[in-house]
Chains A and B, each alone.
Chain A
Amino acid sequence: MSLLLRGPRAAPRRSRRWWLGFGLAMILLLVVAPLALSAFRLSLLSKYLCFAIVALGIDVAWGYGGMLTLGQGVFFGIGGYAMGMYLKLHEAGAGHLPDFMSWSGVEKLPLVWKPFRYAWVALPAAILLPVAVAVGLGYLIFRQRVRGAYFAILCQALAAAFAIWLVGEQGLTGGTNGLTNFHELFGFKLSDPANQRSLYFVVAGTLLGLFLLARALVQSRYGRLLVAVRDGEDRVRFLGYNPLVVKTLAFAFSAALAGLAGALFVPVVGIISPTLVDVVPSLELLIGVAVGGRGTLYGAIIGAVAVNWAKTGLSEHFASGWLYFQGALFVLVIVYAPGGLVGLWRKGRDAVLGRRTSRTDGTDRTGLAVPAVRPETAPARRVELTGAP
């Protein structure tokens, strides 16, 4: 627990400016956006904010922990399906089967579905199941010091396997169509614009709360240890810490956020399906973080919202343009602006003010600078030359 104590405090002036920024963001999200946007745009914004919650988790694991989590769709999907199963069962009523099950010839409610009849099971499960999967997988992978690209590939393989499994188990999961056709949540009609508006406030409030939580986490001693593990896992091990615990915790945190976001996503958008959990959406969740600026929490949120906004805008006008744009975005951001929007802003600001970009700002580090990438760059053993005969 001592790990979670706060690290060294930021200078008071900086901290005051930070709270000012946070207050402005709060006003923007909770007052300006609901007043300025139409019901349709507002519900789109709720969707983006759900993705922003996932991005926040990815940023902690990737930006701070150096773990490229390419399978966040899995955790997002587990959360979403947990929520969707609850809504489906609630709608079918006691003793009845969800509609898609009768279509695929299932006669008895599968055992897995039974607990999800209760909200007090489904809602915690949306967070705890992803955490359990992440802890199990993270423990097994990190224990053997499998890291870097191997970890990324395994995450991706998990996402692919999960999506294929979902499609294959038609009677259990609704197959390709997923779970959809939800009408009400806790007795509130989901089609009612007023309820969608309240849902927006729930999502935005959750995001703000989680943002503060994530900030506290990365500023704690644990957060510093996480960054240390990213930059030199072996050195941390030599100092007597166990990187396994540090990494698994961060991975589990990101999974919890993704699961929660999935559970919020379902009532907002009204569907959860394999196409939302596969490899491609998992990577789309990631690009937002890269665009915004990995290693800065607000950057991840801005990036996720901006990228999804651009996706909707571009797909509305020309369909194929989005893929070119997305591809180019990946290439340009990673090659030319590894610090993302935040990095560019800081560089621009510092250029204008004529000061040197501080090394601790996170702009000039790649965020993923895992040392000694090539095995042979490890320093050679020193040969003692003195005292030779």
Chain B
Amino acid sequence: MHVALAQLVTGLSISAVLLLIALGLTFTFGQMRVINMAHGEFIMAGAYTAYMLQGPLGHQSLLVALPVAFVVAGAIGLVLERLLIRRLYGRPLDTLLVTWGVSLILQQVARDLFGAPNVEVRAPTWLDGGVDVGGITIGANRLFIMAIVVVSVTAIWFYLTRSPQGRRTRAVVENRQLAACSGISTTTVDQRTFFIGSGLAGVAGVGITLLGSVGPTLGSNYLIDAFLVVVVGGLGHLRGAVLAAIGLGLLRAYVEYWSHASIARVVVFLAIVAFLQARPQGLFVLKTRSLQ
């Protein structure tokens, strides 16, 4: 029972990180049909931002790092969108290859700037302990990550459903041409989505520094799993991403416990293929009359 509970916490913290990363992906993918392989490097940028800030700011730097990482990663994302991705709208598979090239370059830049060995971000002292729940200890760092994610997802939900900008975003996701006809600047909406999505990856990067060390390939370790969340959740759906992230995180945590970590990835993959037999387009599907 204890073990099951402990794995629940582990699983949920995996889910939390995956969700934060997948949110940006699901909207860039759902709204612009861009498969951004460089998304992992936004995570890395966020993590290195936390690393850079701890020098001058010391122990409390983590709280400052969250908004700064959001802006840094978002800005990199925006530059990428302006320079490259907008040339490739309508060619989703090509965006995948181009952004993968960008991700290689960014990884090498990080290696040249910060060195190839991993670096550590010291957690603030108030994240050292844990909280006892039902006989098991939940690490304060994991709770903190979950809190970041809950706050971010709530903020995104409010943004999408309550703000005029969010309404325009939803309109573009559902029907780009009709939205454009109604006077919505799809370019502006695309840029804003890209900024927010990339920024969230940066925030996820700050969270990840609490779980381990920071290296140039940090992001690529999480990226494929985050993409699987998008595939399972359905494109451009907040609810889908949340449910898929929780499902995949828990599945992985429990399978890892009952067998090896190496088997878990294979099992998760097979489970997803099986899931796609039932729901080929993911949990939530945007209903359209079109064929594809």
Interface residues of A (CB under 8 A from B): 68, 70, 137, 140-141, 143-146, 148-150, 152-154, 156-158, 160-162, 164-165, 167-169, 234, 279, 283, 286-287, 290, 320, 323-324, 326-331, 334-335, 338, 366, 368-370, 372-378, 381
Contact = CB atoms under 8 A, between A and B. Distances in A.
B288 interface: yes
B108 A168 contact: no
A136 to B, nearest CB: 9
Given A150-B231, A157-B225, 6 more contacts: A153-B227, A154-B269, A329-B101, A334-B101, A372-B290, A377-B177
A153 B100 contact: no
A287 B100 CA distance: 11
B112 interface: yes
Chain A interface mostly helix, strand, loop or mixed?
A: helix
Nearest to B291: A234
Nearest to A144: B280
A203 to B, nearest CB: 27
Interface residues of B, number: 54
A219 to B, nearest CB: 25
Contacts of A169: 262
Contact of B87 (A141, A145, A335): A335
Contact of B108 (A68, A165, A324): A324
B35 A168 contact: no
A165 B175 contact: no
B277 A144 contact: yes
Interface of B: 29, 33, 35, 84, 87-88, 90-94, 96-98, 100-105, 107-108, 111-112, 175-178, 220, 224-225, 227-228, 230-231, 260-263, 265-266, 268-269, 272-273, 276-277, 280, 286, 288-292
21 contacts: A68-B96, A141-B276, A148-B93, A149-B29, A152-B96, A154-B231, A154-B272, A157-B224, A234-B291, A326-B101, A327-B101, A331-B84, A334-B88, A335-B84, A373-B91, A375-B288, A375-B290, A375-B292, A376-B175, A376-B288, A378-B288
A70 B108 CA distance: 22
A377 B97 CA distance: 24
Contact of B91 (A143, A327, A368): A368
A328 B100 CA distance: 10
Contact of A161 (B35, B101, B108, B265): B265
Contact of A156 (B107, B224, B276): B224
A331 B80 CA distance: 12
B22 to A, nearest CB: 12
B100 A330 contact: yes
